[in-house]
């Protein structure tokens, strides 16, 4: 059997691949696990999956080459996983030629991975490709993703798992640089050791500005803001890169739902299972919890739940509701450890031992804002513009730190 490696083609393999694609009438997906037959009798096998670029034209057809390498697996969520695209083959139909170029900054998001199949089976609902197409429609306003319409992996006979394979959907989109915000913050705190001003200018304000640009300006509510749905690349001296992702659950402002999101980041009015309005105030609540978790990762809901050895989602829900009902917000001053110790919001912030009055005032202002953002009452939460303005004002109170701040890169 002839093996075709699309990233390393000879004249012969390039030609065979071009004929195979033409013979199949431009299939949307070429599966590396299949034996492909090129008539009359030639058997071919691909080393990589190929997915059509829906932006290609009649004259120049493009297929993206999906990486198989474990390090190109970019992340996994409850229903999707993302893999890097490493190149593209271009078929010039007028000149009957096929060429390969390496490319970067595109990924494919695979929907209905094994983990999701299990969840769907548990709920006894069947996953359909249609669901990925519906989700894609929701992603369209979010232009930073440049998501293409999903492609279904073809069913084929003779494989045990054909039932599942035919239900997988593949969607090409822009690769969002960096890593998930939780991991990036852990690295940032360890290697940069930020002071309050750096935390404001490099982390908190850029997150809010990205939200304003990528989400609020589209008239949508994300509904599932949490570190795993944000990719970030943060350095002290270069502009921060923040990208929101996973818009499957986004809805328009004014729509109605029965609550949706991730416990801990979920606004209380959306917890009861009753029909409620989709409002930006719900995202503001999640952003408030997110910012608290950036300043002190020990205060993230994930960390609190694990520190307090809370195992079930029912207990977690109860814990969150008790916090919000007792303190009227996700109050960083009131959350305690299992042994009743308080956390200090600025514990990891490296301002030195001598806290000036100005700095204390600035920190208090940040704290008050975070308490308002996470208020139990949606009408008390400030709008995104005023959150940004207040944090900018807080930053303006502080002078930039001398560049002697601890600054190590992971390789040092
Ligand atoms: N465009 C992208 N660029 C880089 N990584 C991505 C991209 N889309 C998804 N990922 C990674 O894949 C993970 C799962 O994708 P996500 O869209 O959040 O799916 P789920 O709905 O299952 O949570 C994300 O947490 C992220 O790490
Ligand atoms: Mg996700």
Spacing, Cα 77 to ligand 2 middle (Å): 5
Determine the pLDDT at residue 261.
Answer: 92
Spacing, Cα 238 to ligand 2 middle (Å): 27
Q: Residues enclosing ligand 1, CB less than 6 A?
A: 74-82, 107, 109, 173-176, 180, 228-229, 231, 245-246, 248
Spacing, Cα 247 to ligand 1 middle (Å): 10
Determine the pLDDT at residue 83.
Answer: 97
CA nearest ligand 1 atom 9, residue: 82
For 44-63, how does the pLDDT look when each residue is reduced to its tens digit (9 = 90+)? Answer: 999 999 999 999 998 999 99
Which ligand approaches the C-alpha of residue 148 most closely?
1
CA distances (Å), 124 to each of 116, 160, 215, in order? 12, 21, 33
CB 259 within 8 A of CB 233: no
Determine the pLDDT at residue 127.
Answer: 67
For 312-344, how does the pLDDT look when each residue is reduced to its tens digit (9 = 90+)? Answer: 989 999 999 999 999 999 999 999 998 999 999
Q: Which residues surround ligand 2, an ion (CB under 5 A)?
A: 77, 229, 246
SS3 sequence of the chain: CEEECCCCCCHHHHHHHHHHHHHCCCCCEECCCCCEEECCCEEEEECCCEEECCCCCCCEEEEEEECCCHHHEEEECCCEEEEEEEEEEEEECCCCEEEEEECCCEEEEEECCHHHHHHHHHCCCCCCHHHHHHHHHHHCCCCCCCCCCCEECCCCCCCCCHHHHCCCEEEEEECCCCEEHHHHHHHHHHHHCCCHHHHHHHHHHHHHHHHHHHCHHHCEECCCCCHHHEEEECCCCCCCEEEECCCCCCEECCCEECCCCCCCCCCHHHCCCCCEECCHHHHHHHHHHHHHHHHCHHHCHHHHHHHCCCCCHHHHHHHHHHHHHHHCECCCCCCECCCCCECCCCCCCCCCCCCCHHHHHHHHHHHHHHHHHCECCHHHCCCHHHHHHHHHHHHHCCCCCCCCCCCCCCCC
Sequence-separated (6 or more) residues with CB below 8 Å from residue 209: 242, 388
Determine the pLDDT at residue 160.
Answer: 43
Determine the pLDDT at residue 277.
Answer: 96
Determine the pLDDT at residue 216.
Answer: 98
The domain made up of 179-396 has a fold known as Transferase(Phosphotransferase); domain 1 (1.10.510)
pLDDT-flagged residues of the chain (< 50)? 157-165, 404-405, 407, 411-412
Which ligand approaches the C-alpha of residue 225 most closely?
2
**Which atom of ligand 1 is found nearest the CA of 248?**
21
- Tell me the C-alpha distance between 342 and 224, whole Å: 28
Determine the pLDDT at residue 306.
Answer: 94
Return the domain boundaries, the chain.
Answer: 2-174, 179-396
CA nearest ligand 1 atom 24, residue: 75
Determine the pLDDT at residue 402.
Answer: 63
């Amino acid at each position: 059997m002839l093996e075709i490696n699309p990233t390393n083609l000879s004249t012969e393999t390039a030609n065979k691949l071009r004929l195979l694609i033409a013979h199949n009438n431009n299939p949307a997906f070429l599966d590396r696990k299949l034996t492909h037959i090129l008539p009359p009798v030639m058997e071919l096998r691909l080393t990589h999956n190929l997915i059509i670029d829906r932006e290609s034209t009649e004259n120049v057809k493009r297929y993206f080459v999906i990486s198989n390498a474990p390090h190109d697996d970019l992340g996994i969520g409850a229903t999707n996983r993302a893999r890097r695209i490493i190149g593209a083959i271009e078929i010039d139909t007028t000149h009957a030629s096929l060429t390969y170029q390496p490319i970067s900054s595109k990924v494919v998001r695979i929907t209905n991975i094994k983990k999701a199949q299990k969840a769907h089976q548990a709920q006894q609902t069947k996953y359909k490709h249609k669901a990925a197409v519906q989700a894609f429609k929701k992603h369209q306003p979010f232009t930073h993703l440049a998501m293409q319409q999903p492609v279904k992996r073809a069913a084929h006979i003779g494989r045990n798992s054909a039932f599942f394979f035919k239900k997988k959907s593949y969607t090409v989109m822009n690769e969002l640089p960096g890593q998930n915000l939780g991991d990036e913050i852990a690295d940032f705190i360890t290697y940069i050791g930020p002071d309050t001003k750096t935390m404001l200018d490099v982390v908190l304000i850029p997150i809010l500005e990205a939200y304003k640009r990528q989400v609020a300006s589209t008239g949508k509510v994300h509904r599932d803001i949490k570190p795993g749905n944000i990719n970030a690349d943060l350095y002290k001296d270069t502009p921060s890169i923040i990208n929101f992702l996973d818009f499957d659950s986004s809805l328009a402002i004014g729509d109605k739902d029965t609550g949706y999101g991730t416990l801990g980041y979920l606004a209380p009015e959306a917890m009861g299972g009753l029909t409620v309005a989709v409002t930006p105030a719900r995202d503001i609540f999640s952003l408030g919890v997110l910012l608290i978790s950036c300043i002190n990762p020990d205060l993230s809901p994930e960390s609190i739940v694990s520190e307090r050895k809370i195992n079930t989602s029912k207990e977690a829900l109860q814990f969150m509701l008790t916090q919000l009902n007792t303190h009227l917000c996700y109050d960083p001053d009131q959350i305690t450890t299992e042994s009743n110790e308080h956390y200090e919001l600025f514990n990891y912030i490296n301002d030195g031992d001598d806290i000036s009055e100005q700095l204390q005032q600035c920190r208090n202002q940040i704290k008050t804002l975070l308490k308002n953002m996470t208020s139990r009452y949606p009408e008390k939460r400030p709008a995104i513009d005023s959150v940004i303005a207040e944090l900018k004002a807080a930053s303006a109170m502080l002078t930039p730190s001398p560049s002697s701040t601890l600054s190590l890169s992971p390789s040092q």
